[in-house]
């Protein structure tokens, strides 16, 4: 048995090294014969590779039976198709009425060949006339086959001329190969060179970072599957990795307890329990005893558990596999680090197709240096949270997760919107120097007093936007005047079930206490649209941005709103702070009156139950739906403050989806129609003496921000990391002069005033 494992391992290594002379396909055939020997030659075997949904590529077979070969191949395809649905080993007794199988006289045993724990890449279909006992050793062989089934190797295998297919399958094989080649060609990246290469993207926030790539959701490649040395040594490596994982989890809980949600702590505790789980440890030991390395044993048991969990009907229990997957992947990292001690996971650059807030929460945020995404845009929530946490983030980097390998050195330059992978030494030196300069600048910036006044003596308030607890301390680091927008839904998105009043109260209280005497504006849940909550059932809508979202949900589901208001009231009373509540996506005054009523009822209930109320309660609205502009005077009379959400206001004013790549930057906020609307809003608010601010992302763009100030906005709220830039702009701006200039250019018929404004700033030494 060990011999055959070694044979497969050698073949795999040769495939990896791309040895031209060696015929991998012939070796496949050889291995199939070896398997046959394990069954005393009583079986037929076919190995299928599964490509696209409908495409199964036959690779090699060992066929000794008198049966018609084509029938056997056809039947093996059917067994593989069934396997694709079931995803666990299946036995098909063709005599028991499965009429779809042509061969009516035997048993098929179809073994999944998996990669990455849960991707079905191929199958070993074993046919026998007699009922077979499938031993664990065969499962391990199928697992090792999985190690071949990454796209590179398949490409090499099928490109060999001497695959020994039985004649009837030749034509189909040829077709499949050409189809497969087309697919590989269309997927290959044009930018990749031999070692160092770069990927261009779109900057979503931040400056520069240097770190080591970590492909989100994909464990690192296993270099060695079979262990030639002592199994004790391999077991010791595994034990060390478990210890390291355990220490890391405990440290994370200790250090970040106050920042972690209860769910995150529960999840980490489950990982601790799993590390001591007797059944799993026994599975791992057996796999190592068979001859697998610690990494391969971890991967093998993960796959076996995946298949076992697939057979469980209960969806909740089925979902528990995610914990085994997570902790197995963590063990991989530590095992990998034993070999590559220079590849630290302290400076992580996360590479992902897409990354949600909860995905980011899987990491120790203090160790994340940058994020590279294949998707994302400036107003996506991951970009907002990353900017808030001072993490540079690059979006729309095509092919990033396919082409970058875990552990590779990466430089992320958001100023140039490019990432350098495996950069040359001189590039690293250059960026290390740049990084030092940036750090020095930030240190100076942080010392600037938070008392910001323009050259014409207008006092400006710069507040920060936040959405998760760990961002809140930045209020002090960057000298923000308060939190002008706390997006409560971002924390909700990281939870797995709807939080109780108690849980919410704890969160809001922590935020208020961390902010000390600085005001915090809590926005009620802005869910729906592009921010679904996993545990909140919402109907499918054709146009979610125009659908059932934000306060519309709050009004239709008053219990949700009441729970949140109750928690906010309790938290503010316990922290002895003024409660600022802000309603998102208000479209008419009637909605404000409705929420006022619910707020009033909630306070009355709390008082009746003997609770203290906060010292003061202020109710405000987000102005992000254009209809509200035409009821603005009434709005002012019914609220304590207004904040303009330019992200959504732009989307609805220009009828341009804020998440669409095509619409991205098609319209500019510094354009005549938008600036006239913003001027109208600030004028009415000033007349009505209603405090007004801007909290959309445009507030952090120096050109837009100088215009807002010149129009009369005195409070801007933005990601904390952007405050220093805007401070510098404010200190160098004479808002009166710009105001007169705007009066002229705002009447123009130009698409954007950006160019003119940039020139204006340059001429007057305004720091933008």
Binding site for ligand PEP (CB under 6 A): 379, 485, 487, 526, 624, 645-648, 695-696
- Spatial contact of 83 and 71, defined as CB atoms under 8 Å apart: no
Nearest distance, CB of residue 584 and Mg ion, angstroms: 6
| Residue 646, binding choice from Mg ion, ligand PEP, none, Cβ under 5 to 8 Å by partner class | ligand PEP
Burial class (CB in 10 A: 0-12, 13-18, 19+), 597: exposed
Nearest distance, CB of residue 576 and ligand PEP, angstroms: 28
Nearest distance, CB of residue 628 and ligand PEP, angstroms: 13
Q: Which is nearer to ligand PEP, 487 or 727 (CB)?
A: 487
Nearest distance, CB of residue 476 and ligand PEP, angstroms: 22
Q: Which is nearer to ligand PEP, 201 or 467 (CB)?
A: 467
Nearest distance, CB of residue 642 and ligand PEP, angstroms: 13
Q: Which is nearer to ligand PEP, 469 or 493 (CB)?
A: 493
| Residue 487, binding choice from Mg ion, ligand PEP, none, Cβ under 5 to 8 Å by partner class | ligand PEP
Q: Which helix (H) or strand (E) holds 394?
A: strand 393-395
Residue 443 half-sphere exposure, CB side, CA atoms within 13 Å?
Answer: 6
Q: How far apart are CA 620 and CA 583, in angstroms?
A: 6
Residue 726 CB neighbour total at 10 angstroms: 23
SS3 state at 287: helix
Q: Which helix (H) or strand (E) holds 262?
A: helix 262-275
Pick from 35, 224, 223, 49: which is nearest to 139 by CA? Answer: 35
Nearest distance, CB of residue 704 and ligand PEP, angstroms: 12
| Residue 696, binding choice from Mg ion, ligand PEP, none, Cβ under 5 to 8 Å by partner class | ligand PEP
| Residue 139, binding choice from ligand PEP, Mg ion, none, Cβ under 5 to 8 Å by partner class | none
Residue 429 CB neighbour total at 10 angstroms: 11
Q: Which is nearer to ligand PEP, 514 or 527 (CB)?
A: 527
Contacts of 160 (CB under 8 A, 6+ apart): 23, 24, 25, 26
SS3 state at 340: coil
Nearest distance, CB of residue 487 and ligand PEP, angstroms: 5
Q: Which helix (H) or strand (E) holds 369?
A: strand 368-373
Q: Which is nearer to ligand PEP, 568 or 585 (CB)?
A: 585
| Residue 379, binding choice from Mg ion, ligand PEP, none, Cβ under 5 to 8 Å by partner class | ligand PEP
Q: Which is nearer to ligand PEP, 395 or 696 (CB)?
A: 696
Which of residues 205, 645, 702, 719 is near Mg ion by CB under 5 A?
Answer: 645
- How many angstroms separate the most distant Cα atoms in the chain? 96
Position 648 contacts Mg ion (CB under 5 A): yes
| Residue 701, binding choice from ligand PEP, Mg ion, none, Cβ under 5 to 8 Å by partner class | none
Interactions with Mg ion, residue window 590-629 (CB under 5 A): 624
Helix axes 136-146, 278-290, angle to 10 degrees: 80
- Spatial contact of 61 and 73, defined as CB atoms under 8 Å apart: yes
| Residue 533, binding choice from ligand PEP, Mg ion, none, Cβ under 5 to 8 Å by partner class | none
SS3 state at 178: helix
Q: Which is nearer to ligand PEP, 260 or 485 (CB)?
A: 485
Position 484 contacts Mg ion (CB under 5 A): no
Pick from 105, 26, 31, 29: which is nearest to 65 by CA? Answer: 105
Question: Residue with the closest Cβ to ligand PEP?
Answer: 645
Nearest distance, CB of residue 622 and ligand PEP, angstroms: 7
Beta-bridge partner residues of 580: 521, 618
| Residue 153, binding choice from ligand PEP, Mg ion, none, Cβ under 5 to 8 Å by partner class | none
Q: Which token pair is 346?
A: 């302290």
Size of interface with Mg ion, in residues (CB under 5 A): 3
Q: Which is nearer to ligand PEP, 390 or 624 (CB)?
A: 624
Q: Which is nearer to ligand PEP, 454 or 465 (CB)?
A: 465
Q: Which is nearer to Mg ion, 506 or 624 (CB)?
A: 624
Q: How far apart are CA 23 and CA 331, in angstroms?
A: 34
Nearest distance, CB of residue 385 and ligand PEP, angstroms: 11
Nearest distance, CB of residue 669 and ligand PEP, angstroms: 11
Position 295 contacts Mg ion (CB under 5 A): no
The dihedral built from the CA positions of residue 687, 692, 696 and 702, taken in this order, carries a sign that is: positive
- Spatial contact of 658 and 650, defined as CB atoms under 8 Å apart: yes
Q: Which is nearer to ligand PEP, 400 or 469 (CB)?
A: 469
Pick from 97, 100, 93: which is nearest to 127 by CA? Answer: 93
Helix ranges (H only) for 340-454 are 357-361, 381-388, 400-403, 425-447
Nearest distance, CB of residue 585 and ligand PEP, angstroms: 8
Nearest distance, CB of residue 322 and ligand PEP, angstroms: 28
Q: Which is nearer to ligand PEP, 44 or 648 (CB)?
A: 648
Contacts of 257 (CB under 8 A, 6+ apart): 265
Nearest distance, CB of residue 644 and ligand PEP, angstroms: 7
SS3 state at 202: strand
Contacts of 608 (CB under 8 A, 6+ apart): none
| Residue 205, binding choice from Mg ion, ligand PEP, none, Cβ under 5 to 8 Å by partner class | none
- Spatial contact of 197 and 421, defined as CB atoms under 8 Å apart: yes
| Residue 112, binding choice from Mg ion, ligand PEP, none, Cβ under 5 to 8 Å by partner class | none
Q: How far apart are CA 480 and CA 499, in angstroms?
A: 29
Output the CA torsion 537→543→545→550 (10° steps).
-30
| Residue 295, binding choice from ligand PEP, Mg ion, none, Cβ under 5 to 8 Å by partner class | none
Q: Which is nearer to ligand PEP, 63 or 663 (CB)?
A: 663
Contacts of 534 (CB under 8 A, 6+ apart): 493, 496
Beta-bridge partner residues of 141: none
Q: Is 385 left (phi over 0), alpha (psi -120 to 50) or beta?
A: alpha
Q: Which token pair is 583?
A: 């309603």
Question: Residue with the closest Cβ to Mg ion?
Answer: 648
Q: Which is nearer to ligand PEP, 385 or 411 (CB)?
A: 385
Nearest distance, CB of residue 696 and Mg ion, angstroms: 7
Binding residues for Mg ion, per CB under 5 A? 624, 645, 648
């Amino acid at each position: 048995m060990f011999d055959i494992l070694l044979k497969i391992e050698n073949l795999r290594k040769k495939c990896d090294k791309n040895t031209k002379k060696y015929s991998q396909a012939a070796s496949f055939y050889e291995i199939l014969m070896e398997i046959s020997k394990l069954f005393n030659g009583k079986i037929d075997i076919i190995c299928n590779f599964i490509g696209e949904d409908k495409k199964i590529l036959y690779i090699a077979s060992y066929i000794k039976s008198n049966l018609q070969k084509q029938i056997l191949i056809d039947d093996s395809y059917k067994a593989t198709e069934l396997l694709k649905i079931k995803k666990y080993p299946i036995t098909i007794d063709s005599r028991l009425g499965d009429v779809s199988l042509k061969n009516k006289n035997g048993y098929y045993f179809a073994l999944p060949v998996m990669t990455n724990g849960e991707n079905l890449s191929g199958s070993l279909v074993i046919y026998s006339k007699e009922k077979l006992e499938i031993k664990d050793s065969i499962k391990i062989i199928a697992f090792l086959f999985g190690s071949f089934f990454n796209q590179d190797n398949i490409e090499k295998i099928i490109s060999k001329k001497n695959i020994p297919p039985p004649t009837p399958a030749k034509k189909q094989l040829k077709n499949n190969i050409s189809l497969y080649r087309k697919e590989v060609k269309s997927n290959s990246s044009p930018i990749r060179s031999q070692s160092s290469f770069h990927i261009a993207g779109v900057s979503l926030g931040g400056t520069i970072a240097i770190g080591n790539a970590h492909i989100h959701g994909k464990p690192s490649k296993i270099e060695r599957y079979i262990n030639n040395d002592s199994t004790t040594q391999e077991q010791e490596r595994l034990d060390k990795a478990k210890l390291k994982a355990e220490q890391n989890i405990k440290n994370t809980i200790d250090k970040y307890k106050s920042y972690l949600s209860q769910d995150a702590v529960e999840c980490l505790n489950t990982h601790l329990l799993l590390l001591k789980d007797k059944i799993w440890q026994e599975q791992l030991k057996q796999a190592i005893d068979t001859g697998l390395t610690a990494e391969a044993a971890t991967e093998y048991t993960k796959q076996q558990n995946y298949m076992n969990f697939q057979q469980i009907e209960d969806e909740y229990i089925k979902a528990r596999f995610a914990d085994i997957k997570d902790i197995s992947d963590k063990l991989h990292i530590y095992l990998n680090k034993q070999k590559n001690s220079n590849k630290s996971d302290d400076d992580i650059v996360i590479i992902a197709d897409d990354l949600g807030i909860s995905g980011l929460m899987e990491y120790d945020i203090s160790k994340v240096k940058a994020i590279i995404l294949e998707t994302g845009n400036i107003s996506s929530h991951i970009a907002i949270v990353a900017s808030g946490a001072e993490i540079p983030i690059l979006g729309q980097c095509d092919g990033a997760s396919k082409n970058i390998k875990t552990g590779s050195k990466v430089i992320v330059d958001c100023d140039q919107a490019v990432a350098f992978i495996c950069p040359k030494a001189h590039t690293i030196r250059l960026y290390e120097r740049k990084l030092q300069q940036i750090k020095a600048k930030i240190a100076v910036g942080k010392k600037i007093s938070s008392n910001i006044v323009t050259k014409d003596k207008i006092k400006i308030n710069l507040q920060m936007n936040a959405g998760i607890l760990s961002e809140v301390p930045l209020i002090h680091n960057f000298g923000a005047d308060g939190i002008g927008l706390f997006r409560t839904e971002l924390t909700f998105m990281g939870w797995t079930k709807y939080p109780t009043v108690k849980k919410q109260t704890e969160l809001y209280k922590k935020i208020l206490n961390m902010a000390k005497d600085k005001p915090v504006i809590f926005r009620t849940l802005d869910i729906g649209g592009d921010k679904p909550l996993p545990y909140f059932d919402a109907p499918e809508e054709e146009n979610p941005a125009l659908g059932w979202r934000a306060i519309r949900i709050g009004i239709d589901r008053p219990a949700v709103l009441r729970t949140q208001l109750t928690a906010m009231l309790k938290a503010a009373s316990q922290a002895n702070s003024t409660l600022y509540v802000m309603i998102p996506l208000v479209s008419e005054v009637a909605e404000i009156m409705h929420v006022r009523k619910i707020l009033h009822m909630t306070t009355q209930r709390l008082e009746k139950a003997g609770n203290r109320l906060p010292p003061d309660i202020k109710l405000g609205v987000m102005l992000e739906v254009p209809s509200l502009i035409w009821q603005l005077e009434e709005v002012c009379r019914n609220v304590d403050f207004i904040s303009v959400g330019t992200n959504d206001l732009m989307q609805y004013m220009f009828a341009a989806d804020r998440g669409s790549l095509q619409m991205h930057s098609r319209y500019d906020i510094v354009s005549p129609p938008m600036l006239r609307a913003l001027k109208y809003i600030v004028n009415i608010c000033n007349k009505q003496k209603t405090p007004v601010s801007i909290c959309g992302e445009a507030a952090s763009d120096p050109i837009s921000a100088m215009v807002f100030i010149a129009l009369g906005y005195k409070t801007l709220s933005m990601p904390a990391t952007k405050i220093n830039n805007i401070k510098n702009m404010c200190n160098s701006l004479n808002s009166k002069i710009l105001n007169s200039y705007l009066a002229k250019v705002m009447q123009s018929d130009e698409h954007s005033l950006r160019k003119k404004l940039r020139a204006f700033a340059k001429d007057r030494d305004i720091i933008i």
